[in-house]
Amino acid sequence: MPAGQALQEWKNHWPLALAAAFGMTLSMLHVYSLGAFMAPMEEELKWSRAAIAGGLTISSLVGALLSPFMGILIDRLGCRRVALPGAALFLLSTCLLTFTTRSVWSWWGIWFLVSLTLSLVRPAVWTKAVSAVFHRGRGLALAAALSGTSIASLLGPVAATYLIEALGWRMAYVALALLWASFVLPMLYFFFDRADHKAGRDVASAPISKGYSLREALASSHFYRLGFATIVIAVVVIGMTVHLIPLLTGKDMPKGEAAVIAGSVGVVSLIGRFATGAMLDRWNGPLIGAFSAVLPAMAALILLLCEATPLNAILAVCLLGFSLGAELDVIAYFTTRYFGLKNFGAIYGSIASLLAIGTGLGPLLAGLCFDMTGKYDFALMCVPVLCVVTAIMLGTLGPYPDFDREKATETP
């Protein structure tokens, strides 16, 4: 029966999962495309790469601050009323980056506007809509929705690189926004409408979930272990991914070849996302989390110690991409397992704020390392240490709580 119910959910709501995946590409497009813009912007504007990556830092800090308020807005207005105008405003604000002047403050100021609109299309709006209508098949549906980040990491660097070569970096931002608008906005308009309406009915009829309150979660060591792992993995994985193209070209790899190899992160992360979800359902979760945390360390060692041949670069990208795909799945899965679903939004929102901070710090720290030393070696040397500590944190989380037993114990 559960398998039949899951199949029925997919039959009824697959357009929502597909639309959510397209919407998810918006939440990470700015991250994965920025690496292609760094070299031409550095050449024209004479800015440091840390200053350029500072746009992501602003985006992440604004996202971290606004995440709780966006959750309230989504709860009150519904997913469609937030997602549709949010997507249009985000793409419009992305076009404004073409007006960047030689003052770095103009770049950061426009990024602040981009960050405000980006808060409307972050993962919460897509995962909430999917979770509302998928119950038996929720894990796979969330993996499908979150696969939008993999699509962005696959298409973003390649599209940005070719648009920059054809139009220059300024008009490339406009073209990139128009390209994304041409397929994302129709998908949201035609498919997110019906899905959001049904989501409201399903939420109203859903049973009350078990789990911790936000206060109980904050008193748990699991929250801080998971929070530490979240911010470290984000710093390492996003930092390496954003700087992957300049890192490879700095080792004398042709720009086009580097862009294609970097773009393959998306394919591997897609595989990693679904594979990790399947493994978490079947095997020991903490060990799977620890395994995924070690992969970026292996990628960093290859990039640091081995010659920058296409084969070595592909191997490093495969390891990095698999970890990138596993990241969001592991965080969301552990949040549901260790804290339950009763207050999932509040608890996951708090952890997602740390994810946003790490997403902004990673590219900034890698850029600072390059600006100070002229290469990325020191940053790559730090990655294995951070990953090993993170793996220990995740691997020792222990068994999942039994909320039914805790409920029975509390009952007089």
Better pLDDT: 154 or 26: 26
Nearest-10 Cα torsion for 85, 63, 182, 265: -160
Report how far residue 51's alpha carbon sits from residue 34's, in angstroms, rounded to the nearest whole number: 12
Report how far residue 327's alpha carbon sits from residue 262's, in angstroms, rounded to the nearest whole number: 18
Residue 334 is predicted with a pLDDT of: 82
Residue 404 confidence class, pLDDT cut points 50, 70, 90: low
SS3 308: coil
Under DSSP, the state recorded for 302 is: H
Under DSSP, the state recorded for 120 is: G
Residue 127 has pLDDT above 80, yes or no: no
Residue 386 has pLDDT above 60, yes or no: yes
Residue 112 is predicted with a pLDDT of: 93
Residue 355 has pLDDT above 70, yes or no: yes
Nearest-10 Cα torsion for 268, 17, 358, 76: 180
Residue 294 has pLDDT above 80, yes or no: yes
Residue 113 is predicted with a pLDDT of: 92
Residue 261 is predicted with a pLDDT of: 75
Q: How many other C-beta atoms can be found within 10 angstroms of the C-beta atom of residue 373?
A: 11
Residue 410 has pLDDT above 50, yes or no: no
Number of helices (H), then strands (E), belonging to the chain: the values are 17, 0
Place of tokens 């995440």: 67
Better pLDDT: 25 or 342: 25
Q: Would the CA dihedral through 22, 124, 297, 270 be positive or negative?
A: negative
Better pLDDT: 128 or 207: 128
SS3 71: helix
Contact 325, 143 (CB under 8 A): no
Burial of 376 from C-beta contacts in 10 A (0-12 / 13-18 / 19+)? buried
Domains of the chain: 14-206 (1.20.1250.20), 209-412 (1.20.1250.20)
- On average, the pLDDT of the chain sits at 79
Beta-ladder partners of 327: none
Give me the amino acid identity at 390. Answer: T
Residue 341 is predicted with a pLDDT of: 62
Contact 134, 9 (CB under 8 A): yes
Cα-atom radius of gyration of the chain, to the nearest Å? Answer: 21
| Mean pLDDT calculated for residue range 381-385 | 85
Nearest 5 degrees, angle CA 238-CA 345-CA 282? Answer: 70
Report how far residue 177's alpha carbon sits from residue 61's, in angstroms, rounded to the nearest whole number: 23
Residue 187 confidence class, pLDDT cut points 50, 70, 90: confident
Report how far residue 207's alpha carbon sits from residue 5's, in angstroms, rounded to the nearest whole number: 16
Residue 194 has pLDDT above 70, yes or no: no
Residue 361 confidence class, pLDDT cut points 50, 70, 90: confident
Q: In which element (H, E) is residue 320 found?
A: helix 310-339
- pLDDT, tens digit, 9 for 90 and up, residues 56-96: 778 878 887 887 777 777 767 777 888 899 999 999 998 99
Contact 112, 57 (CB under 8 A): no
| Mean pLDDT calculated for residue range 274-281 | 76
